[in-house]
Amino acid sequence: MATDWLLRISPCQRPVLAGMPEDCAFTGRGNQPPGWVEPFRVIYDHQLVLVRHGIFRTRIEGQDYACPPDSYIIIPPGHWEATWNIGTGKGRRLWCHFDWVYTGPWQGTPVMTFHPAKPRRTELRDAPEFVPPTVFHGAIPKPQPTFDLFDRLFQKQNFGDSHDQLAGRSLLLELLIQLLDEQVKAVRPGKHVPHLASLVRTQLKNAVESGEPIPSIRQMLEKSRYSYAHLCRLFHAEYGIPPLKYVHMLRIDRAKLLLNDTTLGVSEIAYRVGFNDPVYFSELFRKMTGASPSEYRKMPA
């Protein structure tokens, strides 16, 4: 599917209502036991659903969509749909109600209508014509970075001020692009010499964003046809720092966001940004920021 249309979206999440619990919020999350999650209903905007744990099934206009762990589905407005937890234990889902572009205020717009009531078709917040008329559904390409993005969006939307809620739109855009952009193309050798420093930077950035520990930067870079020393010289000349320091900078920057936007413990954050040793992570964090992770979290924003 061509993804040029993603250049035209400017998503807006449905505004939060004060006092709503997180398992009922418009940008929410919850654990669902086996059985019905939602009986047959029609929603009036779009709902992005991420499955973190459990086995779910969503039926939209009679067609079933399997929703196993690390999968997503975007439920469109105006269609009869229902969701079940078909596993034997509780499953965890994350969701966000949104519009692809701003179509006016939500005041007075219903959220959903349950069967057998008739939906108010004139109130539907349909997608613009450039959005493909399909049910977007599939595996999450990079689960952990995606769930981290959602955690930040959830915090800004439900616990932030009006500025945070506006800024959350950029997180929702990043989330949708990460799920839907299929224009990932392999770099092929051509007549022109590639910009090696840029390629190394992209390789390192992708490795960090995976959330997995990098066993050896040297081994990773030496898989190319260039020597490690040569690539290090090019990278340092272009960006002013060696590759290892760049990786540390990316991880620490990601850790700062998690410290500010979540309540995760320091050890959990260390693991999420790719450190096996929380003590080493804390020492490096202090060295690069002048404060420990716990001290940084207490600093005013």
Q: Do 264 and 166 share a structural domain?
A: no
273 domain residue, yes or no: yes
- CATH number of the domain at 91, please: 2.60.120.280
153 domain residue, yes or no: yes
189 domain residue, yes or no: no
Q: Do 202 and 163 share a structural domain?
A: no
Q: Do 135 and 105 share a structural domain?
A: yes
Expressed in angstroms, the distance from the first to the final Cα of the chain is 41
Output the pLDDT for position 193. 41
Residue 103 CB partners (closer than 8 Å, separation 6+): 125
Q: Do 226 and 170 share a structural domain?
A: no
- CATH number of the domain at 263, please: 1.10.10.60
Q: Do 152 and 80 share a structural domain?
A: yes
Output the pLDDT for position 146. 95
Residue by residue, pLDDT tens for the chain (301 residues) are 567 899 999 999 999 877 677 767 899 999 999 998 888 999 999 999 999 999 999 999 989 999 999 999 999 999 999 999 998 889 999 999 999 999 899 888 899 999 889 999 999 999 999 999 999 999 999 999 999 999 999 999 989 888 988 999 999 999 999 999 864 433 343 433 457 788 888 888 888 777 666 667 888 887 777 788 888 888 888 888 888 888 888 889 889 989 988 999 999 998 888 888 899 999 999 999 999 999 999 887 6
Q: How far is CA 126 from the centre of its chain?
A: 23
Q: Do 293 and 174 share a structural domain?
A: no
Cα 110 from Cα 107, distance rounded (Å): 9
Total-model pTM? 0.61
Q: Do 121 and 75 share a structural domain?
A: yes
Q: Do 23 and 110 share a structural domain?
A: yes
What residues make up the domain containing 123?
A: 4-180
- Structurally, the chain folds into a number of domains equal to 2
In sequence order, what DSSP letters do the residues of the chain get, joined into one string? ---GGGGG---EEPPP-TT--TTTSSEEEEEE-SEEEEEEEEESSEEEEEEEES-EEEEETTEEEEE-TTEEEEEPTTS-EEEEE-SSS-EEEEEEEEESS--S--TT--SEEETTSPP-GGG--PPPTTS-SS--EEE-SSHHHHHHHHHHHHHHHHHS-HHHHHHHHHHHHHHHHHHH----------SSPP-HHHHHHHHHHHHHHTTS--S-HHHHHTTSSS-HHHHHHHHHHHHSS-HHHHHHHHHHHHHHHHHHH----HHHHHHHTT-S-HHHHHHHHHHHHSS-HHHHHHS--
Where a domain ends, among 180, 204, 236?
Answer: 180
Q: Do 129 and 247 share a structural domain?
A: no
Q: Do 113 and 230 share a structural domain?
A: no
Output the pLDDT for position 192. 39
Q: Do 170 and 202 share a structural domain?
A: no
186 domain residue, yes or no: no
Where a domain ends, among 153, 180, 207?
Answer: 180
148 domain residue, yes or no: yes
Q: Do 91 and 12 share a structural domain?
A: yes
